[in-house]
A and B are shown apart, each in its own frame.
Chain A
Amino acid sequence: MTAAAGTVQGSAPGRTGGTVARVVRRNAWTFGLAALLLVLFLVTRAIKPTYGAAELRSLAIGALPIAFAAVGQAIVVISGGIDLSIGSLLALTNVTAAALMAGGSEESAVPVVLFVLFLGLFLGAVNGLLVVASRVPDIIVTLALSFVWAGAALLVLKSPGGGTAQWLKGLIDGTIGSEWIPEALVLLVVSVALVWLPLRRSRLGLSMYAVGSDRLAAFRSGVAVAPTKVAAYAVTGLFAAMGGLSLSMSTGIGTPVPGPYTLLSVAAIVLGGVSLVGGRGGLLGPILAVFVLALIRADLTFLNVDPNFTTVVQGVIMVVVVMVGAFATLRRRTA
């Protein structure tokens, strides 16, 4: 020990390895989820041998709005916040799109889509600005605003209605290339990649992780904390708008009453390996988690389980998976 005085090893021995080993270690949770999804798919085939490409396609269509909500939620949680208004934002952008497109031509839907995306970005920024300016905890501000956005949705459309351009609906109801690749999945991957990949590589993306991980350390490192938070909320709003548009695509109408997307998005990010205290996680995990949850629900239906009991099972599975994950992390740390 005397000999070692003054010399400190930079990393623990045995933890070094190649890039591949590191990638696997860092993303163990995501790999585990992917494996779980594969197992679930095989189980589904075992339960219902006819489960095939068509069912996969409808699974992807059904999961699309939840996946967008989960992606949005993941971004704001990674940067140290939480957005409980995400379900209301989905509803508001959904009815706005449906109301504007009702009776319009196919071409006029293009500016509507752009407007709705911008609206999501704007409403998200409003969420963020109020959180930053009021210094009231995120959970309270966004809960309050969830009522505001839900009310606004009812002002736009009193009851389910409106319309959607045919080309929009056509975006997600087919497959591309192989019959095993649903268009809905491709749309999800492309739109998430278009926004997230450049962001992740930018200083803003780095700042989001930094602010979520440790506000003080980020502040001292020269990160502009408040603008970073506002930006994170704005991006979350953008994904909520994508979720709202995907609701238009799958239903063809606008529904002013928010669905269960807020809580489903939180469930998906927890299962997807995003730390609720911020700073840790990615977007692939939550997306995989959305499909895991959807597949479990489908399996339980195939098994003729009472639908009321299905939600109970879903909750139990979530708790177990998260506990197993926490236990594994604990083991690794003490080892």
Chain B
Amino acid sequence: MTDFLLEATGVAKSYGAVAALRDASLGVRPGEVHALMGANGAGKSTFVKILTGAVRPDRGTITLRGRERGMHSPDEARRTGLIPVYQEPSLVPDLDVLANLSLTRTPVAPFRGWVEDLGVHGLDLRTPARELPLAVLRVLDLARALAVEPDVLLLDEMTAALPADLTEHVMNAIRHQREAGRSVIFISHRMIEIAAICDRATVLRDGETVGVLDVTKGTEDQIVTLMLGPVATEPAATRTRPPVTPETLTGPGAPRLSVRGLVAGAKLQDVSFDLHAGEVLGIVALEGQGQDELFDVLAGAARPAAGELRVDGRPVRFGHPADAIRAGLVFVPANRAQALLMQRSVRENIALPFSAPLAGWGPIDVTGERRRINDAVGRLQIDTRAQSEVRRLSGGNQQKVTIARWVAGGVRTLLCFDPTRGIDIRTKREIYELLRELAAAGAAVLLYTSELEEIPLACDRVVVIFGGRVVDEMPAAGADEPTLLRAAYGLPPGALTPEEVVAEAVAIEEAEASPAAGGDGAVGEPREAVREPAPPAGSRA
């Protein structure tokens, strides 16, 4: 009855009294890249789980090539031609790559071909997955999916934690899939990627499909409107605030945090900067330039090999995260699971860091605690319907809880490491605004983000780290994506557009990697077509 390759209609799923999905539908045509959009809590993850066979729907039908099927297990979904690639690596860590392939019955030869095409060379298939770096694991996940030539490839936030160069490879793989007349369901929070690669988009809100549209220039606003629903959208409202510069920051005392010549681990070579009270300082870096080590040192989780830290002018040495917290430096990691007690309640999670000093080892001041928690919950607009166990909250709400615990404790210096990873636009905005408010109230905020468009929205100043060293510093107001990307690649300021920057990087990479990396035609497309030109950040506002 339809020309859809994959069609889902009237899919519903409830967990107890909570309806995760009410009436979701999705139609994917052959040779189409289809975006599945929705704010966190819209039911996207549940829908994906149902499509991939991990969860059985209460109602609804799923047809592939016009034939209805009940998908009861991931194995069944796989065999009928739908292969998912998730945000986090899905290889079994203790098995070597070869064993992982035989687990999913993936043929080895095409897998090898794809691994090379995706830019990983000299892979030893006998290496246990546990010993491979994250970036390689992501490539292997994708290669494993592509190797079986799936009818429908489902990429679920695949690009969320990916460095820019790997994202290009993912885009190429998607184009290849489309040219072969097969389909891709693409899930991403990055509008640029949606605009660059997708043909159509299905938007979910509150468990229902609220719109299906063709993606053309300017659809982004429409998608956002659909995702946000009746709530008024105010694009980039935060940019109207007056700029804060180091000069306007009162400087009678020393900076809140002063970092000099910091060296740590293998990657952090020499980093110095000052963080003042009242500002949000952005850190921009490509994946693996030493930012992880920097935040570990500042949070007290790792000891530096050299360099000096000063808090309010006094030199400090952190041997334990508790030292950093006592000095007023608190850490919000990208991975919520590292910060939260997933099986405990929202209240306990928020109260944990500050209730111990509040009451010593004696009884906890329950009334005082409740007041402060309620303040924090209200201020961050945390959805507390599922508050008895944090792991049942959506990702965005979990991240709010990690911030709320420090807000409730009275924050002085907040260290945020990619706090908006995999979080929907509305929650992202709320988090930016919260960071701005905290800064306005006198806190100092250090923010690393992998999404460059966040920088002008949230930050006052930007420090760019490349190869473990600070290579640039600029006010955030003028820092559009092309500028930041150039700086992050360690290139001098110039007239190149980001397109050319990436092409340049690819050219260098190919020169490096040849002859092994020659385009052997499996991708079916020249490699220089790496990225759609990004619209200048200013024009989207």
Contact = CB atoms under 8 A, between A and B. Distances in A.
B92 A209 contact: yes
B512 A3 contact: yes
Given A2-B490, A220-B90, A279-B92, A8 B136 contact: yes
A58 interface: no
A213 B93 contact: yes
B343 interface: no
Contacts of A12: 131
Interface in B134-180: 135-136, 139, 165-166, 168-169
B122 interface: yes
Interface centre among A5, A212, A217 (most CB of B within 10 A): A5
Interface stretch (B20-28, B100-108, B354-362): B100-108
Interface stretch (A130-138, A178-186, A221-229, A301-309): A221-229
Contacts of A15: 131
Interface in A195-238: 203, 206-207, 209-210, 212-214, 216-224
B251 to A, nearest CB: 35
Nearest to B136: A8
B94 interface: yes
B84 interface: yes
A7 B512 CA distance: 8
A220 B74 contact: yes
Contacts of B490: 1-2
B54 A219 contact: yes
Interface string B488-499: 011100000000
Nearest to A16: B124
B120 interface: yes
A45 interface: no
Interface string A277-316: 0011000000000000000000000000000000000000
Contacts of A11: 122-124, 127, 131-132
Contacts of A222: 73-75, 78, 103-105
Nearest to B78: A222
Interface in B479-531: 489-491, 505-506, 508-509, 511-513, 517
B94 A6 contact: no
A10 B124 contact: yes
Nearest to A11: B124
A209 B92 CA distance: 9
A3 B506 CA distance: 9
A279 B91 CA distance: 13
A5 B509 contact: yes
A10 B466 CA distance: 23
A226 to B, nearest CB: 10
Nearest to B123: A10
A9 B122 contact: yes
Interface in B300-335: none
A48 interface: no
Contacts of A22: 126
B286 interface: yes
Contacts of A214: 92-94
Interface string A14-33: 01100000100000000000
Contact of A5 (B74, B132, B286): B286
A46 to B, nearest CB: 39
Interface centre among A7, A16, A209 (most CB of B within 10 A): A7
B94 A280 contact: yes
B119 interface: yes
A4 interface: yes
Instruction: Give chain A's interface secondary structure class.
Output: loop
Contacts of A3: 508-509, 511-512
B211 interface: no
A217 B91 contact: yes
A210 B130 CA distance: 12
B74 A221 contact: yes
B95 A210 contact: yes
Contacts of B230: none
B124 A217 contact: no
A2 B466 CA distance: 9
Contacts of B513: 6-7
A213 B96 CA distance: 12
A216 B74 CA distance: 11
B218 interface: no
B133 interface: yes
Nearest to A225: B73
A231 to B, nearest CB: 15
Contacts of B92: 209-210, 213-214, 217-218, 221, 279
Contacts of A220: 52, 54, 74, 84, 86, 90
B467 interface: yes
Contact of A206 (B52, B102, B126, B517): B102
Contacts of B95: 206, 209-210, 213, 279
B90 A221 contact: yes
Contacts of B52: 220
B121 interface: yes
Given A11-B122, A213-B94, A6 B127 contact: no
A6 B505 contact: yes
Contact of A223 (B103, B131, B132, B491): B103
A84 B492 CA distance: 64
B102 to A, nearest CB: 6
B75 A223 contact: yes
A210 B99 CA distance: 9
B59 to A, nearest CB: 23
Contacts of B54: 219-220
B103 A206 contact: yes
A119 B73 CA distance: 31
A9 B121 contact: yes
Given A8-B119, A8-B135, A220-B54, A279 B508 contact: no
A221 B103 contact: yes
B367 to A, nearest CB: 36
Contacts of A279: 92-95
A220 B133 CA distance: 20
A330 to B, nearest CB: 14
A210 B166 CA distance: 27
B412 to A, nearest CB: 33
Nearest to A220: B90
Interface string B40-81: 000000000000101000000000000000000111001000
B206 to A, nearest CB: 27
A327 B120 CA distance: 32
Interface centre among B75, B491, B517 (most CB of A within 10 A): B75
A58 B132 CA distance: 46
Contacts of B286: 5
Contacts of A280: 94
Contacts of B511: 3
A203 B169 CA distance: 32
A89 to B, nearest CB: 27
B122 A207 contact: no
A227 B466 CA distance: 49
A16 B126 CA distance: 10
B347 to A, nearest CB: 26
28 contacts: A1-B466, A2-B505, A3-B512, A6-B165, A6-B505, A7-B509, A8-B120, A8-B136, A10-B120, A10-B123, A10-B132, A16-B124, A22-B126, A206-B99, A206-B103, A207-B103, A209-B99, A210-B99, A213-B95, A214-B92, A217-B93, A220-B52, A222-B78, A222-B104, A223-B75, A224-B75, A279-B93, A279-B94
Given A9-B120, A217-B91, A224-B73, 20 more contacts: A4-B509, A6-B505, A6-B509, A7-B509, A7-B517, A11-B122, A11-B124, A11-B131, A206-B102, A206-B103, A210-B92, A213-B92, A213-B93, A216-B90, A217-B90, A217-B92, A220-B84, A220-B90, A222-B74, A223-B75
Q: Which 10 A-B pairs have the closest CB atoms?
A: A10-B123, A222-B75, A213-B94, A279-B94, A6-B165, A6-B509, A210-B92, A221-B103, A11-B124, A1-B467
